[in-house]
Structures are given as structure tokens and as C-alpha cells.
Amino acid sequence: MFTSLHLKQFKSWTDTGPVTLAPVTLVLGTNSSGKSSLIQSLLLLKQTVESSDRTIHLNLGGDPSTDLFNFGDFESIHKQGATDDRFSISFSFKGASTRQRKERVNGGHFSACYRQTPAGATVIQEL
């Protein structure tokens, strides 16, 4: 289960700061305040993990038969007007071990910065 999320230069967000997540989390705010961007960052990670193409660092979508969402290209998810040429997604998580199901990892933290190559690919710049 995700316990926190942190976005920098992602879509409408300059820096979300750490966003605490719980089993039930309400995301409230005015129109165009970035609520959907928080959810879309999780969808982006999910479709990247589930992608059969292990050569791509971030699956921005495009295949309607397998992808959850089509994010377009790097410029579509990188914050417009950002002074930095990269964006980052970070999250913390904890396992949910039960008697029936033992998790291999009980918890941890992941953080990655992404940038665009001259050829237009979105790649991990820093882990």
C-alpha cells in the first residue's frame, strides 16, 4: 500500500510536498488544482510496471488495448514553464502481509527523476 506520494514538476504541480495516503484518501480541491494529476501519477507508475516493454523507463501510453491512460509525450507531463528540465515522482509504501500472503518487502521508498533525451524518449536521470 502506498503511504505517501511526492511530485515535482509534474503536470500542474511545482512541488506537492509529501502527500500522506491512507487506505481511504479523499482528494478535494477547486477545479484545476491538480487533483487528477495526483491520481494520474499513480496510473503512470502502474502502467509502466505492467508494460511488457522492458526497454522503456516510463510508459506514457498510446496502446489502447494495454494502457490505462495516454499521457502523450514528455512535454505533456512536465510542468509548463518549469526552470528544471526534469520531473520526479517519489513514493513510500508498506507491505500488507497476512497469514495467507507473505510480502517479500515489508516497506520502502522509491524516488526517480525523469528527463527527455534529444531523441524524445523519457528516461530515468536519477534514482
The domain spans of the chain are 2-126
pTM: 0.87
Q: How confident is the model at residue 106 (pLDDT cuts 50, 70, 90)?
A: confident
> Which residue in this structure is represented by grid cell 509504501?
93
Taking domain 2-126, whether its CATH number is 3.40.190.10 is answered by no
CA distance readout (Å), 111 to 53, 57, 92, 93: 21, 13, 9, 12
Tell me the sheet residues that pair with 19: 5
CB 119 within 8 A of CB 35: no
pLDDT score recorded for residue 101: 67
Question: Rounded to whole angstroms, how far apart are CA atoms 2 and 4?
Answer: 6
Nine-digit cell string for 4: 505517501
pLDDT tens for 55-102 read 999 999 988 888 999 999 999 999 988 888 999 999 999 987 666 666
